[in-house]
Each structure stands twice: as C-alpha cells, then as structure tokens.
Chain A
Amino acid sequence: MDINLTDIWVYLAETPLLWLTLTLAVYLPADWLYRRTNALPLFNPVLLAIIGLVLLLLATGTPYATYFDGAQFVHCLRGPATVALAIPLYTYSATLKRMLVPLVGALLVGAVTGVVSAIGIGQLVGLSDVTLRSLAPKSITTPIAMGISEQVGGLPSLTAVIVILTGIVGATIAQEVLSVTRIRESSIRGFAIGLAAHGIGTARAFQMDAEAGAFSGLAMGLNGAVTAIIVPLIVSLML
C-alpha cells in the first residue's frame, strides 16, 4: 500500500497536471478567505497562495523548476489578461480623453519617482549593488522588469520576486495611502495604484471599482514602457 502511494506520487510529481491543479486549488481558498475578510490587506490572495505553495514545495522537496512546468499554463495567461484590460479601458474612454494631459504628466513624474526613490532608499538602508540594480524596475510588470534588470546588471529572477513583492505591498497599502491624499476620483486613484504596483495593484484597484481598475491597467501598461526607457539612464547616474 505504502509503495503504491509512493509510486503514484513519483509519477504525479513529474507531470505538469499536479502543480497546475495545486496552483488553482491553493489560490481558490486564499481568494475566498480574502473576500470573506472584506479584503483585509494582509490576506492578499497572491501572498497567501504563494506562502501555501512554497510550504507545499518545501515539504515535498519539489524544486521550483518542476513546479513551474505545471504552473506555467497559468503564468502564460498574463499576456491575454493584459490585452483584456482594453475592455474596462474602453468603457472609460470619455474620462481618459478628459484626463489625458494630467495622465501623461503623472506618468512621467511617477515613473521617475518610482525608480529614483527605490535606488535612493535602497542606498540609504545599505542594499548591495546587485540588489539595487535588480530593484530599480520594481514598479512594472514582470516580463519587462526582468529584461531591464538583466540589461543594467541585476539578477532577473530576483527582480521577478521583487516585482511581485512590490505588487503585494502596493495592493496592501493602497487604500490607506490614497486616503491620506484625500483624492476621491477613481481615475486618479486607479492610475496611481497601477503605476506603482502593476498587475497585482490593478487586481486590487478593480475591487475598489471598475473605473479605478481601468485606469490602473492603463498606468501599468504605460509605465512599463516609460520605466524601460528611464531605468538604464537613472542607474548610470546613481550607481
């Protein structure tokens, strides 16, 4: 009996099916818990699911590469999901048109602030050079951030982790931080969240309301482009 179970485990552990299924199976209760606690920031579903899965992988001695073989099918949906953000954006086209100038201004100022503040604070608290370089593109979506990290001498895989952490931090504190500014317009709140905390922030913005989500998605896309251009410049000036 025991041997049979081991055999089954050995077989399953090598197929993509197991870790694909477990990624979804761990995410669903995490998401449920988050909704049940009325979006309690520390119960961020991404954070909970990551903790659950890492514990599972460590307990079973499974390497990340084996896990990713299965989980990549979820990972690959980020592309079409980004494209799908055009639909909420379309719904708010009129607001977008009205806000175009403030939006472009906030984009440029925000993008520079994101990179300069990350490197500046990182230097103050004594981060190593390679970590600083990996951290510079932290506010933007993973695929671009990893490419830029490599370009400026960082570790792309560390950047991926830092980007996710930034998203979780941003989603967790967004409500409190923005209430301090007393700005009520959903378009502005959403844009600030998406610019600072990319896709995970955008997921959070959609929970506030659809307009915040739409502008968050737009900010995520635009900031990806601007940050890609400015990181090499700022890194060469500051490091």
Chain B
Amino acid sequence: MIRALTALLLCQLVGEIVARLLQLPVPGPVIGMLLLWILLLVHGSIPAWLQQTAQTIVQHLSLLFVPAGVGVMVHFSRLQDEWLPILLTLIGSTIITMVVTALTMHVLSLRMNRMQ
C-alpha cells in the first residue's frame, strides 16, 4: 500500500512541477494521471501492488469530496437568498451539458464508423 501511495504521490508531484514550469492551466494531479497512464502503457500491465490500493481509493472517491462540501455552512446566508435560482441553474445546465456531450460523442462516433 505504501509503495502504491508513493507511486501515486510521485506522479502527482511531477505533475505539479510540470504544470508550474510550463505554466499549464491543467492541475498537477491530472498531468500525474496522464503520466501514470503513459508509464502503464510502456510497462504493458498493471502491477498487482498498484492495482489493489488504486482500486480502494477509486471506490471511495465520494468520501474525498465531503470536507469541501461541508464548507456549504460558511455560505448559508448567500444560499438563503439565492438557493432556488442556483439549484435551477445547476440542474438545467448539468442536464444540457450531459445530453449535448453524449450526443456529440455519439454522432461523431457513428460518422467515424461510417467512414471506415
């Protein structure tokens, strides 16, 4: 587990350094993810020691958003005034975004298949 955590943190660290050095708008962990993906492609398989820990973390991804979410209590007064329009906006925009993204990808993949 420690080995896996070290590997994940190292990838994140390299990602953070790359993001700062090249002044990329991409967050360090995302570059770390792409880096680890490339390393796995080069290696050709997922090492067992990495698989287990990574699976445990990914399974409980939800937990990691709880501390930031509890921050809602700091904004109670603003949310009291605007909670309904905010919620409507989020629901509307999320539905539209999800549908447009899925349909775009679907249509493009059908076109690709037809061309081949």
Interface string of B72-94 (1 = CB under 8 A from A): 11110011001011111111111
Q: Tell me if B17 is interfacial: C-beta within 8 Å of chain A.
A: no
Q: How far is the CA of A89 from the CA of B71 in the complex (A)?
A: 31
User: Across the interface, do B78 and A93 meet the contact criterion of CB distance under 8 Å?
Assistant: no
Closest-CB distance, A171 to chain B (whole angstroms): 8
Residues of the B chain whose Cβ atoms lie less than 8 Å from the Cβ of A125: 84-85, 88-89
A58's nearest neighbour on chain B, judged by CB, is: B73
Q: Chain B binding site: helix, strand, loop or mixed by DSSP?
A: helix
Number of A-B contacts (CB under 8 A): 310
Contact A105:B104 (CB < 8 A) given known A50-B69, A82-B33 = yes
The bracket for how many chain B residues form the interface is: 35 or more
Residues of B7-38 at the interface with A, using a CB-CB cut-off of 8 Å, are: 8-9, 11-12, 15, 24-30, 32-37
Closest-CB distance, A205 to chain B (whole angstroms): 10
Q: How far is the CA of A196 from the CA of B34 in the complex (A)?
A: 20
Task: Select which of A91, A144, A217 is within 8 A of B33 by beta carbon.
Answer: A217
Q: How far is the CA of A12 from the CA of B93 in the complex (A)?
A: 42
Q: How far is the CA of A107 from the CA of B88 in the complex (A)?
A: 24
Q: Tell me if A189 is interfacial: C-beta within 8 Å of chain B.
A: yes
Residues of A194-213 at the interface with B, using a CB-CB cut-off of 8 Å, are: 195-197, 199-200, 202-203, 206, 213
User: Across the interface, do A157 and B71 meet the contact criterion of CB distance under 8 Å?
Assistant: yes
Task: Select which of A45, A87, A141, A180 is within 8 A of B55 by beta carbon.
Answer: A87
Contact A93:B70 (CB < 8 A) given known A138-B93, A181-B106, A206-B59 = no
User: Across the interface, do B69 and A203 meet the contact criterion of CB distance under 8 Å?
Assistant: no
Residues of the B chain whose Cβ atoms lie less than 8 Å from the Cβ of A86: 11, 32-37, 40
Closest-CB distance, A156 to chain B (whole angstroms): 10
Task: Select which of A93, A139, A165, A192 is within 8 A of B105 by beta carbon.
Answer: A192
Q: Tell me if A42 is interfacial: C-beta within 8 Å of chain B.
A: no
B74's nearest neighbour on chain A, judged by CB, is: A64
Q: Tell me if B2 is interfacial: C-beta within 8 Å of chain A.
A: no
The 24 sampled A-B contact pairs (Cβ below 8 Å) are A46-B69, A50-B72, A68-B67, A68-B70, A75-B64, A75-B68, A82-B30, A84-B36, A86-B32, A102-B105, A118-B93, A131-B86, A139-B94, A139-B97, A161-B69, A165-B90, A166-B90, A177-B95, A181-B99, A185-B106, A188-B109, A196-B94, A221-B26, A224-B30
Interface residues of B (CB under 8 A from A): 5, 8-9, 11-12, 15, 24-30, 32-37, 40-41, 46, 50-51, 53-55, 57-75, 78-79, 82, 84-109, 112
